[in-house]
Structure 1
Amino acid sequence: MSLSLQVQVQVMAASPLRRHELQRCSSMAHLKQLHSRTIRLGLSSDNDSMGRLIKFCSLSQSGDLNYALHLFDQMPQPDAFIYNTIIRGLLNSHFPTDCLLFYLRMLHRCVSPNRFTFPSLVGSCCLANAVEEGRQLHAHILKFGFGDDGFCENSLINMYVGFRALDDARKVFDEMPARDVVSWTTLIAGYSRCGFVEEAFCLFESMPEKSSVAWNAMIASYVQSNRFHEAFALFQRMRDEKVELDKYLAASMLAACAGLGDLNQGKWIHRYIEESGIELDSKLATTIIDMYCKCGCLEKAFQVFKELPHIGLSSWNCMIGGLAMHGKGKAAAELFEKMQRERVAPDNITFVNLLSACAHSGLVEEGRSYFRRMSEVHGIEPRIEHYGCMVDLLGRAGMLEEAKEIIDNMPISPDAGVLGALLGACKIHRNVELGEAIGEGVIELEPNNSGRYVVLANLYANAGKWEDVAKVRKLMNDRGVKKAPGCSRIEFEGVVSEFIAGGRTHPESREIYGKVDEMLERIRRVGYVPDVDGVLHDLEEEKENPLYYHSEKLAIAFGLLKTKPRETIRISKNLRVCNDCHNASKLVSLVFNREIIVRDRNRFHHFKMGDCSCQDYW
């Protein structure tokens, strides 16, 4: 047998072994042994053999991209597969510019790209926000004859959506000879992210066949836009069409339940997840906990949390945040300490929730301690949100000067959230001088936020500075800023009823107003006196919507009419509860022997037997 024939036999015998060993390869040490054997067999220039080694180095979690590049540089004529593999590896390692440079090397060495080359390149343009390069790649896709390739077209739609170039994305979509579910859902999600929800819905309706992915994309679009009623309507339609609920749809609808405070629907979805065997991953578990927290059912949220087989960081954060919004500051701190004992490393979100818990419960010393520990023990540098929590904590406690010092010494410029926290504290503690200086700055930072004007006007009204109140109102009018109307929601038998102050659109408004009058008459007997301080500045609302017909009072009256004796009444409101409604709710809980749970813009209030869980600290 000749020498050349012996080598061929050795290569043929070695190839199956080599492929088998590459499949079992789990470390770079093993890979280097295989590389050494490849060299001994004279295969170091063989694209098939080297391509397998480069693929492991580039794409495996145990690989080494630098070693892949070293192997690549030793090859005399790499083929398209090897270039594609390196480009994918660079993209996965977040080196988008290098992806494009490798593509240029590929063209300079006269290696023709194939249909698998461009998706990664287009993805690199998305990562680098390289708009012009992306458009050039689009031209190359057409030039090389891949304009009708679904992978390339979907990549282009995703790229243009990322660039917010929706007209270009739609043009690619419209010119596709065959669209798949990725094409439809990518464009629907793109319209949604840019705020064009109606366009997304029109596109959804034009789909010839709607998959569960498409249903989820559209429902998620409504949820992300806070259009929860439309999300529920579409969900009901989906159920009527017998579309099965998967974990993604379940997560979107749980978020909608949390947004509307619809506990019954949330419970139904939770039961469906349990009974249908849907995988309860960390994200879905966190969404369930969040739903129960935001629907005012803290005990159930904690039960779900404790029963998780593995508690991920997001679930710890969610539960701490839930305790915070319910005013359970000490419980939140205890849960954090348990998290520490179980050696779960916190992140910046953990400390936002923890500091918020301290702020809502007046735990000043604990808050200071956690703020220090965040950087000194855990190496987490404070962000703007953490400073905002500290300003809120100190401000609520009346330590306005210290809160102002925090702002003055921040290494970053304070935003409207940080300054707004101090403004709110100035209103609570009636510090007009500081509040005036802060208020003007907040309004300039957020000129379209009606809440900033309202707080400043309240501050002036409480001090009897009516000329300044008028100036604030005039500034609002001149800028076309409208005060957001207070709206309270209550769910009964699967239907969510909404109320605005003084509104009479509800079909049972006569009975509801009669119940409000009865409710107010009974609490007057135990000492209720209207507190008008909170609405003195808003003369129009005072004329049209008397204090005793605020939206939460109407919702409570509806709850008293519809629910059974001693049944908990759950209400959500889009604004902060005013002092008068807070006092009235405490007395209603006493006189009618009801627990009333109100979720306002900032937190939960649990009214029971004449007291509130916030201890009048909110």
Structure 2
Amino acid sequence: MPLPMPSSLTTVAPLQVQQLCPSNSISLTQNPPWIPTPYLLSKYPTIHHLSSCKTMKQLTQIHAQTITTGIFHDNFVASRILSFAALSPHGSINYARLLFSRICKPDVFIANTLIRAYAFSLNPVDAILFYTHILEHSLVRPDIHTFPLLLKACSEIPSLSLGQAIHSHVFKLGLSSQVSILNFLVQMYSSCSSLESAKLVFDRIPECDDASWNIMMCGYMKCGRLELAREMFDGMWDRNVVSWSVMINGYVQNSRFKEGLELFREMLVKKVEPSESVLVNILSACSHLGAMEQGKWIEGFLRKKESGFTVRLGTALIDMYSKCGCTEKALEIFHEMEEKNVLAWSAMINGLAINGRGKDALNLFSEMEMFGAKPNEVTFIGVLNACNHSGFIRRTGLLDEAEKVIKTMPMKPNSVILGALLNACRIHGNTQLGEQVGKQLLELEPNHSGRYVLLSNIYALSGRWDCVAELRGVMRERGISKIPGCSFIDVGGAIHEFVAWDNTHPESEKIYGKLEEISRELKLAGYKANMSEVLLDMDEEEKETALCHHSEKLAIAFGFINSKPGTTIRITKNLRVCADCHSVTKLISKIYNREIVVRDRCHFHHFRDGSCSCMDFW
């Protein structure tokens, strides 16, 4: 059956190449085929220049020589020239396509080279369009290496209808028993959220290899079926590093950070060497949980290898230390990195900004520009946070200027950037701009509970309780509920989680006893509860009691019980710290002479001697 020619699929999401579970028999990332072999060098000395070719201008000169000497008509030569143009970072896919049209009798290797280039491009649908072209003109007959590339393209688009059409061609050509192709069919169906079809194909694989199991587990993970993936993982007789990577990375990417860390520890006990992708994901889990001790272990593990930090690992370490409140360690890693890309610069700028070091963040941004690194959306978010959380934006007029900066950015502001501006409006009480930005955000993310809560807080702080009630009514109608607050604390390398009114912890009795002691000390110090952000349908006493049992207060009490006097308490919270908890923690840090570091959803608070690093701008 002929493939459909899709006219509406001209723009697709950017490609994210991360082969967690490649096929054993088909490699999508083989060695560059344009590098000539000794045999070709002796037969065609002209193309030996390909090994040192760095630009398209140089390639065109080599191409011209092959034409004038007549050797371009040999498919060996033509394929090497085309491969460089199609697959080299210095090449041009458009030039490769023109080359293909000039080859008298192209073979399937040459066609597959161009399909490979399209499949890994920003527009993978072009791989399908090119395949349609060669079929319509009977230029080459596809082979077993063609279909994994086409299915990869369908996974990246993603397009179930195109994938099904490719599947029909596989069946028609009698290749439906090829394990390598079936593996990529499983990947395609799961990427298109068709798990039933993926499982049907998986069950029909004549002899499942490791890749088959890993790809099916990947499919379950992508579709959020973590329990089914874990069942498969537990049922595997021989787990390789890819199998462990699939499970650990899947847990982390589905925000199951504690399970990811637990499985990582089990992996180390089994003496399986972790891959770079596992380490990056585990560092991300450490960032979210505030598990700095585990992150330190990974840094030590990498230093023992004496190979230095890759850009990816260095950036992950910067992010981890920053989100654990250790900016000095983050800076140490940053300055140690021999190579830095925009992600590394952005991670460090954001790290300084969320830790209340706004001036340092802005200075680093200036340094970044001097080094010629081009900022991206994440960088601008860091700059906005540096201003928002350091008290630099103190007048409504400057908020208007911030809005102008966003409008003149080289890229369209996303929800994160608009969210930073909305938070600035809350901090500085600009209800008018806050309402405008909040409504834009609700259009972009109508199911994001945090956007409703933030806009509701802006209304509440300005006394517009009717708007608060209306917004909560909209949330009820749409079935959107506020995410419950929870706090994590790392004690002795173990992560302890608390939610409001939590009584499930083995030490609950001691924790609540400590809370009562803290409450007495707070009242002696003149503390009065800040009830501006508490639910409306409670009386004053109920509101005060509710505030007393917020998750971060339980975590602080637990930290006090399980640490020596003078030890820094480090807490991670999934939501923004409320005004009352912020005031209380400042007082506690003074009364008990403790440094308390709290990382909330978007900022770090270093509480020392009754003050906070955010200068009450959060």
TM category (shorter chain) comes to 0.7 to 0.9
Change (3 A) 1:455 1:535: farther
Alpha-carbon distance, 1:260 to partner: 1.1
- CA deviation profile, 1:501-535 (whole Å, cap 9, x unmatched): 33322222222222222222223222222333433
In the alignment, the residues of structure 1 paired with residue 537 and residue 451 of structure 2 have an alpha-carbon distance, to the nearest angstrom, of 12
Give % identity: 38
Change (3 A) 1:532 1:136: closer
Equivalent position amino acid for 1:53 in 2: I
Alpha-carbon distance, 1:464 to partner: 10
Q: Aligned with 2:440: secondary structure?
A: coil
Name which of structure 1's ranges 210-219 and 467-476 shifts more when overlaid on structure 2.
467-476
The normalised TM-score by structure 2 is 0.82
Among 75, 78, 82, the alignment partner of 2:106 is 78
Equivalent residue, structure 1, for 2:4:
none
Equivalent residue, structure 2, for 1:347:
376
Instruction: Say if 2:138 is the partner of 1:109.
Output: yes
Instruction: Say if 2:597 is the partner of 1:568.
Output: no
Alpha-carbon distance, 1:297 to partner: 1.9
Instruction: Say if 2:446 is the partner of 1:415.
Output: no
Instruction: Say if 2:54 is the partner of 1:55.
Output: no
In the alignment, the residues of structure 2 paired with residue 99 and residue 550 of structure 1 have an alpha-carbon distance, to the nearest angstrom, of 54
In the alignment, the residues of structure 1 paired with residue 417 and residue 218 of structure 2 have an alpha-carbon distance, to the nearest angstrom, of 32
Change (3 A) 1:391 1:461: closer
Change (3 A) 1:571 1:127: closer
Equivalent residue, structure 2, for 1:154:
183
- C-alpha contact (below 8 Å) 1:351/1:370 kept by paired residues: no
- C-alpha contact (below 8 Å) 1:362/1:396 kept by paired residues: no
Instruction: Say if 2:348 is the partner of 1:319.
Output: yes
Q: CA RMSD in A?
A: 3.5
Among 384, 409, 421, the alignment partner of 1:390 is 421
Name which of structure 1's ranges 536-545 and 144-153 shifts more when overlaid on structure 2.
536-545
Q: Which has the higher helix share?
A: 1
After TM superposition, the structure 1 = structure 2 runs for residues 461-540 of structure 1, keeping only pairs within 5 Å, are: 463=463, 482-535=481-534, 537-539=536-538
Q: Which has the larger radius of gyration?
A: 1
- C-alpha contact (below 8 Å) 1:47/1:78 kept by paired residues: yes
- C-alpha contact (below 8 Å) 1:231/1:253 kept by paired residues: yes
Alpha-carbon distance, 1:131 to partner: 3.0
Alpha-carbon distance, 1:475 to partner: 7.3
Alpha-carbon distance, 1:499 to partner: 2.5
After TM superposition, the structure 1 = structure 2 runs for residues 44-443 of structure 1, keeping only pairs within 5 Å, are: 44-94=72-122, 96=124, 98-107=126-135, 108-109=137-138, 111-277=140-306, 280-364=309-393, 379-403=410-434, 407=437, 414-416=440-442
- C-alpha contact (below 8 Å) 1:216/1:249 kept by paired residues: yes
In the alignment, the residues of structure 2 paired with residue 532 and residue 139 of structure 1 have an alpha-carbon distance, to the nearest angstrom, of 63
Equivalent residue, structure 1, for 2:43:
15
Name which of structure 1's ranges 335-344 and 363-372 shifts more when overlaid on structure 2.
363-372
Equivalent residue, structure 2, for 1:591:
591
In the alignment, the residues of structure 1 paired with residue 334 and residue 487 of structure 2 have an alpha-carbon distance, to the nearest angstrom, of 29
In the alignment, the residues of structure 1 paired with residue 468 and residue 434 of structure 2 have an alpha-carbon distance, to the nearest angstrom, of 25
Name which of structure 1's ranges 11-20 and 302-311 shifts more when overlaid on structure 2.
11-20
Q: Aligned with 2:148: secondary structure?
A: helix
Alpha-carbon distance, 1:492 to partner: 1.0
In the alignment, the residues of structure 2 paired with residue 272 and residue 532 of structure 1 have an alpha-carbon distance, to the nearest angstrom, of 47
- C-alpha contact (below 8 Å) 2:486/2:551 kept by paired residues: yes
In the alignment, the residues of structure 2 paired with residue 470 and residue 401 of structure 1 have an alpha-carbon distance, to the nearest angstrom, of 18
Equivalent position amino acid for 1:600 in 2: D
- C-alpha contact (below 8 Å) 2:330/2:348 kept by paired residues: yes
Change (3 A) 1:537 1:88: same
Name which of structure 1's ranges 338-347 and 29-38 shifts more when overlaid on structure 2.
29-38
In the alignment, the residues of structure 2 paired with residue 23 and residue 140 of structure 1 have an alpha-carbon distance, to the nearest angstrom, of 37
In the alignment, the residues of structure 1 paired with residue 531 and residue 405 of structure 2 have an alpha-carbon distance, to the nearest angstrom, of 43
- CA deviation profile, 1:133-164 (whole Å, cap 9, x unmatched): 32122122222232233432233222222212
The normalised TM-score by structure 1 is 0.82
Alpha-carbon distance, 1:588 to partner: 1.4
- CA deviation profile, 1:300-325 (whole Å, cap 9, x unmatched): 22222222222221111111111222
Equivalent residue, structure 1, for 2:21:
none
Alpha-carbon distance, 1:569 to partner: 0.7
- CA deviation profile, 1:316-374 (whole Å, cap 9, x unmatched): 11111112222322222122112222222211221112112212223227776676567
Equivalent position amino acid for 1:488 in 2: S
Change (3 A) 1:370 1:575: closer
Change (3 A) 1:231 1:568: same
In the alignment, the residues of structure 2 paired with residue 13 and residue 532 of structure 1 have an alpha-carbon distance, to the nearest angstrom, of 79
In the alignment, the residues of structure 1 paired with residue 600 and residue 442 of structure 2 have an alpha-carbon distance, to the nearest angstrom, of 20
Equivalent residue, structure 2, for 1:449:
449
- CA deviation profile, 1:562-588 (whole Å, cap 9, x unmatched): 111111011122333233322221121
Alpha-carbon distance, 1:95 to partner: 5.4
Q: Aligned with 2:598: secondary structure?
A: strand
Q: Aligned with 1:218: secondary structure?
A: helix
In the alignment, the residues of structure 1 paired with residue 130 and residue 293 of structure 2 have an alpha-carbon distance, to the nearest angstrom, of 55
Equivalent residue, structure 2, for 1:424:
none
Change (3 A) 1:556 1:70: closer
Change (3 A) 1:590 1:161: same
Equivalent residue, structure 2, for 1:5:
none
- CA deviation profile, 1:223-250 (whole Å, cap 9, x unmatched): 1222122112212221221112232211
In the alignment, the residues of structure 1 paired with residue 561 and residue 162 of structure 2 have an alpha-carbon distance, to the nearest angstrom, of 64
In the alignment, the residues of structure 1 paired with residue 453 and residue 69 of structure 2 have an alpha-carbon distance, to the nearest angstrom, of 79
Change (3 A) 1:16 1:473: closer
- CA deviation profile, 1:185-217 (whole Å, cap 9, x unmatched): 333222222211112212222323212222121
Alpha-carbon distance, 1:222 to partner: 1.1
Equivalent position amino acid for 2:441 in 1: D
- C-alpha contact (below 8 Å) 1:359/1:394 kept by paired residues: no
Change (3 A) 1:171 1:390: same
Q: Aligned with 2:503: secondary structure?
A: coil
In the alignment, the residues of structure 1 paired with residue 399 and residue 450 of structure 2 have an alpha-carbon distance, to the nearest angstrom, of 30
Equivalent position amino acid for 1:551 in 2: S
In the alignment, the residues of structure 1 paired with residue 40 and residue 569 of structure 2 have an alpha-carbon distance, to the nearest angstrom, of 77
Equivalent position amino acid for 1:166 in 2: L
In the alignment, the residues of structure 1 paired with residue 103 and residue 473 of structure 2 have an alpha-carbon distance, to the nearest angstrom, of 74
Q: Aligned with 1:514: secondary structure?
A: helix
Instruction: Say if 2:605 is the partner of 1:608.
Output: no
Q: Aligned with 2:378: secondary structure?
A: helix
Instruction: Flag the structure with more relative contact order, 1 or 2, with Cα contacts below 8 A and sequence separation at least 6.
Output: 2
In the alignment, the residues of structure 2 paired with residue 202 and residue 592 of structure 1 have an alpha-carbon distance, to the nearest angstrom, of 48
Equivalent residue, structure 2, for 1:436:
none
Equivalent position amino acid for 1:357 in 2: A
- C-alpha contact (below 8 Å) 1:490/1:559 kept by paired residues: yes
- CA deviation profile, 1:155-190 (whole Å, cap 9, x unmatched): 322222221222222222222233444433333222
Q: Aligned with 1:55: secondary structure?
A: helix
Equivalent position amino acid for 1:46 in 2: D
Alpha-carbon distance, 1:609 to partner: 0.7
Equivalent position amino acid for 2:286 in 1: C
Aligned length: 575
Gaps in structure 2 of 5+ consecutive residues: 1-38
In the alignment, the residues of structure 2 paired with residue 482 and residue 111 of structure 1 have an alpha-carbon distance, to the nearest angstrom, of 56
- C-alpha contact (below 8 Å) 2:41/2:48 kept by paired residues: no
